[in-house]
Structure 1
Amino acid sequence: MQSKIMSKARESIKEIFPFKVYTFQIAELLVNITKHVLKPKHEVLTAEEKVKLLKDYNIVDSQLPRILESDAVAHYHGFGKGTVVKVTYDSELTGNHVTYRCTF
């Protein structure tokens, strides 16, 4: 879309389609944020990997650092609530650094 979607139109989309539909403004799609050199690598964990991670650290998913559904990368990939993502940073200063985030 060229401009921001109105709330009535957003509600209509939810009523018309039985599946989740993501809308983007043209300006959001001019640059592929997943290919930017400063963006860390995001990988979605499978259900088994998520269970193993939570068991290894003896935590529940709400105790993981959060990534919002409205985050640019989460919105681009369509991460739903409760999705656990492995984020790999590669920096000259810190080297390889892995964190896990849960979508809220």
Structure 2
Amino acid sequence: MRKFSLLDHELIPKHEIMSEEELKAVLKIYNIGKEQLPKVKVEDPVVQEIGAQVGEVVRITRKSQTAGEAFYYRLVIA
């Protein structure tokens, strides 16, 4: 039997853990610190599914009618 994946659902956008290099570039673009990013709890079902740990940053890619794709960033907290 195949395990159900939240990421397979059409309403759940793509989530991925960012590398340190990618994160540094994003923080530089927005001129902010990591702690200034919006937060998401480590208990979030999608965060658990992708295996993100406290302190990592998750990039969420959503479809946008105007931009094509829009990126959102969340810092994983306890």
State TM-score, norm by structure 2: 0.81
| Superimposed CA distance per residue, residues 37-62 of structure 1 (whole angstroms, 9 cap, x where no aligned partner) | 10000121111111111122111111
Root-mean-square deviation (CA, aligned residues, Å) is 2.1
Alpha-carbon offset, residue 33 of structure 1 = 0.5
Report the 3-state secondary structure (helix = DSSP H, G, I; strand = E; otherwise coil) of the residue aligned with 1:53: helix
Does 2:60 align with 1:80? Answer: no
Alpha-carbon offset, residue 92 of structure 1 = 5.5
Greater relative CO, 1 or 2 (CA 8 Å, sep 6+)? 2
Q: Counterpart in 2 of 1:58?
A: 31
Q: Counterpart in 1 of 2:70?
A: 97
Tell me which protein shows more strand as a share of its residues: 2
Tell me which protein shows more helix as a share of its residues: 1
Report the 3-state secondary structure (helix = DSSP H, G, I; strand = E; otherwise coil) of the residue aligned with 2:59: strand
- Could you say which structure has the larger radius of gyration? 1
The partner residue of 2:15 within 7, 27, 42 is 42
CA gap of 1:92–1:58, structure 2 versus 1, over 3 A, is: closer
Identity %: 36
- Count of matched residue positions in the alignment of Structure 1 and Structure 2: 76
> Which structure 1 residue ranges, 4+ long, deviate > 6 Å from structure 2?
none
Report the 3-state secondary structure (helix = DSSP H, G, I; strand = E; otherwise coil) of the residue aligned with 1:67: strand
